[in-house]
Amino acid sequence: MLEGAFKKEDVDIALKYDLSLMLHREHHIKWLMSLDEPYQGDIWLKVDTGMNRLGYTQEQLAEFIKQLSTSQKEKLILCTHFSTADQAGNCKTKQQISKLSRLVAQYGCQFSMANSAGILNWPDSHGHYNRLGLTLYGINPIKKNTLVEPLIPVMTLQANIIALRKVNLGETVGYGDTWQAKRPSTIAVIAIGYADGYPRNAKMGTLCI
């Protein structure tokens, strides 16, 4: 469960159903250590190596690992998340790989780094576990397509055209007059909107035909 526990009771539910929880905040550690019996499952610890979103600092990590028993340390899995893995020439990903690799060597544990872009762009990031994300849905996260077979989107959004109308140069369309015709144009009105979950503030061009 990559988001971790939202409340203490979630840890109990994870234990009941044998789910592995990602730990990334200080209270996650407190909840784990406060269990009536020592936790014996996999311990996933997220390390912030540069994403600056979720995860422990190296100092916090060291302090927590000191509290683990020998058997718990044997089930330790260090994890991090890349911020620029979709950019093959960006040295930040190399730095993130290096930071976590040093910690993995220090603690002699398993690790997980690669997201979809990491799997495709950074072979050095492939670990005991790889976390496929966007590509599961048929989205290629890297700018240069190096895939032998193209990815196919697993979902489509479709709606009916319910009207066609002509607008003249300079006329506007829609709420807030957000679109203005740069030439005489034919406009299609599509039966979909915020009542269907399509947000009114979606950027122009988001919906493609």
Of 80-89, 110-119, 169-178, 200-209, least confident by mean pLDDT is 200-209
pLDDT value, residue 170: 96
Q: Could you give the residue ranges of the DSSP H alpha helices within the chain?
A: 8-16, 26-33, 58-65, 70-73, 91-107, 116-121
pLDDT value, residue 41: 87
Whether the pLDDT of residue 208 is over 60: the answer is: no
Of 4-8, 45-49, 125-129, 176-180, least confident by mean pLDDT is 176-180
Region 167-186: mean pLDDT is: 93
Whether the pLDDT of residue 107 is over 90: the answer is: yes
39-43: which pairs have CB atoms within 8 A and are 24 or more residues apart?
39/15, 39/72, 40/71, 40/72, 40/75, 41/15, 41/75, 42/75, 42/77, 43/68, 43/72, 43/75, 43/76, 43/77
Pairing of strands 161-167, 172-173: unpaired
CB neighbours of residue 28 within 10 Å: 21
pLDDT digits (tens, 9 = 90+) for 67-77: 888 999 999 99
pLDDT value, residue 145: 62
Residue 117 in contact with residue 96, Cβ under 8 Å?
A: no
pLDDT digits (tens, 9 = 90+) for 26-60: 999 899 888 888 888 899 999 999 999 999 999 99
Residue 86 in contact with residue 116, Cβ under 8 Å?
A: no
Domains contained in the chain, CATH given:
8-137 (3.20.20.10), 156-209 (2.40.37.10)
